[in-house]
Each structure stands twice: as C-alpha cells, then as structure tokens.
C-alpha cells in the first residue's frame, strides 16, 4: 500500500530556507520589509518544495485575513432556496466574487443576516470577530441599513454597498436599475405599446424606486400616461398576482406590463392565462433579474439581465484594492444591465 505524501507546510519552507516562520509569512504576503536576498531564499524553497500557501499561513502576519465576506438577507435567501424556483442571486454573487477573489489569492464566504432583527449588530459583530474579513459586500437591504454600515465604518472594515445610493461610507455600486427600466419601457414603446403597466417591487429596497422612476421617465418622454398603470408588490409571486389582476381588470387595460422581478412576471403570465389573454399577442410582458426560470416560462420571458456577477466581481476588486492602500472611487459605480429579448414581447395589438 502506497504511503500518503506528507503535505508541505510553512514550517517545512522555513526549515529549508533557514529562516523564521514570520519571515516566510512576510514573503508570502508580499510585505515590503523583507531583504531581497531573504525573499529570494524563501521563494526558492517554496518552488523547490512545491508549497502552496494556505490562508492560515498568509494570516500569520496579522495584517490581512484574505477573506471577503458577502452579507445577504437571511429570510429572503432561505425562502428562495426552499422554494427552488430558480432564483440565482447568491449563485451569481459567488460566480463573480469567487473568481475575482481567486485571482488575488483571496477566498469569499456568504453570511446570512436578518436585517430586521434587533440583534443585527450582534450577529454581524460575531461574524466579524470569527472571520476577520478584509472586506464586506453588502446587498439590499443590508446596503441601506445604517446599523450595519455604521458598525462596519466604526470597526474600520472596508465595505462595498450594492444597490445603494452614493451617500454614506463605503464604496457604492449600482446595476443601473433606473436605466434598465427605461430600456425595458422603450423596448415596448418601440413595439407600438402606449398603455404600459408597471408592477413595482418592495419599498424596502431603494432599487424599487429607481426602477419605477425609469418607467415613469420613459413614459413621460414619449408623452404617454402613467395614471392607473402602476401597482405595487413585494417581489413575491402572490403580490404579483394581485397587482396583475388589478392592472388587467381595468376598463382600459394595458397592452404591456413590466414586472420588477421574475416571480411577479410569472404571476402576470398566469393572470393573463386566466383571463384568456395570449402572451405576447394580447399582452406583452417584460421582467427584471433574468433568473433561470425566465427561459422555461411559456412563452420565455423578455427580461432585464442584471449584471450580478460583474457587480460582485467589481466589488471584490475594489475591496482588495482598499486593503492595498489604493485610493477608491468616491462616486457611485454603475454596472450597466442589458435587455434579453424572448417570446413574451411583440408588436402592440391594434396600435397599442
């Protein structure tokens, strides 16, 4: 039976190079206070032994943890996972974040925190103490929670706020929700639609207001009415059903509806079917998010594709730069979304 090869550790490198563990750690962490000849000796031992630095070894210097922590809303994330409806926000966060982390030898971890909890500060403190992350990525609604952002600022932890305005500490990144809503609305206007309904998302999220503003702006620029064409939801299928029923129950119903996420767009398709409205010939539907479920709807949904992976990747890049002492942007960074055209939109019936 073959003997298992013993893993090479930082101790082996230190012994081979004839230096201390701290010196090896400083070389691994690319710290400046190492003499060139000492650095060369350690690097030769690393190459010779085939040593791959672990996070534990890199943390020995005490200056960095090489961990980026992303916070996501506990209740909504767990609900999406249990429903198994194809929501892939966390997947896309990990895709963009983990790949970018790997380029610089970092690791990314997702933590779930309930932003409504009275214990949110305690929960976040526990995670910070346990993981000691070099940076934190906040997603809505955490990115708009002053308790969370205030705590991170007080502790001196670099953080990026996704989906939040430019005011406040930390780096701000948005996925151009307002511009994306204008794009979706203009797509329908170009197809001849004049009565375009809008189902807004939860007011708890700032991006809901941005999306509604984009719809209103595009409608106003085209000289089209918005009165009686807006209904609110909370991103759930159930509220999408209620909102779509109200819009399609109007005497002058819309010929197109934009829903602020895929669940509410699916609900709109079902309400249309209940009322014997054919999509897209009687009613066009556009969605936000572009999760996997949009492909398998009947018809497949035209949707705004949110650049979640690209935004997470950029957030990681900025946080790593912050830990290197680089100057960070003070203005909100905008990651542009795009419209994916599928079978749920068509020319307006009877001229819109």
Which pTM does this prediction carry? Answer: 0.78
Contact call for residues 194 and 226 (beta carbons, < 8 A): no
> Is residue 73 situated within a structural domain?
yes
135, 209: one domain: no
> Is residue 33 situated within a structural domain?
yes
Q: Read off the CATH number of the domain in which 325 is found.
A: 3.40.50.2300
Contact call for residues 252 and 267 (beta carbons, < 8 A): no
Q: Read off the CATH number of the domain in which 50 is found.
A: 1.10.260.40
> Is residue 108 situated within a structural domain?
yes
Domain ranges, residue 41? 10-61
Structural domain count of the chain: 3
- Per-residue model confidence as pLDDT tens digits over 253-299: 999 999 999 999 999 999 999 999 999 999 999 999 899 889 989 99
> Is residue 82 situated within a structural domain?
yes
Name the CA dihedral angle for 75, 81, 82, 85, rounded to a multiple of 10 degrees: 120
Number of H helices, E strands in the chain: 14, 12
The more confident residue out of 310 and 127 is 310
Weakest mean pLDDT among 112-126, 142-156, 255-269:
112-126
Averaged over 127-145, what is the pLDDT? 89
Highest mean pLDDT among 53-62, 63-72, 174-183: 174-183
217, 261: one domain: yes
- Per-residue model confidence as pLDDT tens digits over 302-341: 999 989 999 999 999 999 999 888 888 888 899 999 999 9
> Is residue 261 situated within a structural domain?
yes
> Is residue 5 situated within a structural domain?
no
Q: Token match 């003070």: residue?
A: 330
CA-closest candidate to residue 160, choices 332, 347, 285, 349: 332
């Amino acid at each position: 039976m073959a003997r298992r090869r013993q893993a090479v550790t930082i101790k082996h490198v230190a012994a081979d190079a004839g230096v201390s563990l701290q010196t090896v750690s400083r070389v691994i962490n690319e710290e400046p206070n190492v003499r060139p000849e000492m650095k060369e000796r350690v690097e030769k031992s690393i190459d010779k032994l085939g040593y791959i630095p672990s996070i534990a070894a890199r943390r020995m210097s005490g200056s960095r943890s090489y961990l980026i922590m992303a916070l996501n809303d506990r209740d909504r994330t767990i609900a999406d996972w249990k429903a198994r409806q194809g929501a892939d926000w966390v997947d896309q966060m990990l895709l963009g974040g983990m790949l970018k982390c790997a380029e610089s030898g970092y690791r990314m971890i997702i933590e779930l925190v309930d932003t409504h909890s009275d214990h949110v500060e305690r929960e976040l403190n526990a995670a910070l103490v346990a993981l000691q992350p070099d940076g934190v990525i906040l997603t809505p609604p955490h990115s708009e929670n002053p308790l969370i952002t205030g705590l991170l600022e007080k502790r001196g932890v670099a953080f990026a706020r996704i989906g939040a305005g430019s005011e406040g500490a930390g780096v701000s990144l948005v996925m151009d929700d307002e511009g994306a809503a204008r794009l979706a609305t203009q797509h329908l206007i170009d197809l001849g639609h004049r009565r375009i309904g809008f189902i807004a998302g939860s007011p708890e999220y700032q991006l809901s207001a941005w999306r509604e503003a984009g719809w209103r702006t595009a409608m106003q620029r085209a000289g089209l009415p918005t009165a009686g064409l807006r209904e609110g939801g909370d991103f759930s299928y159930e509220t999408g059903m209620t909102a779509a029923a109200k819009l399609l129950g109007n005497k002058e119903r819309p010929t197109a509806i934009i829903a602020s996420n895929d669940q509410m767009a699916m609900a709109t398709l079902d309400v249309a079917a209940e009322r014997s409205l054919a999509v897209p010939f009687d009613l066009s539907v556009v969605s936000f998010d572009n999760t996997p479920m949009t492909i398998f709807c009947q018809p497949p949904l035209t949707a705004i594709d949110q650049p979640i992976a690209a935004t997470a990747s950029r957030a990681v890049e900025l946080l790593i730069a912050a830990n290197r002492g680089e100057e960070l942007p003070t203005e909100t960074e905008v990651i542009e979304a795009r419209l994916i055209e599928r079978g749920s939109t068509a020319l307006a019936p009877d001229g819109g």
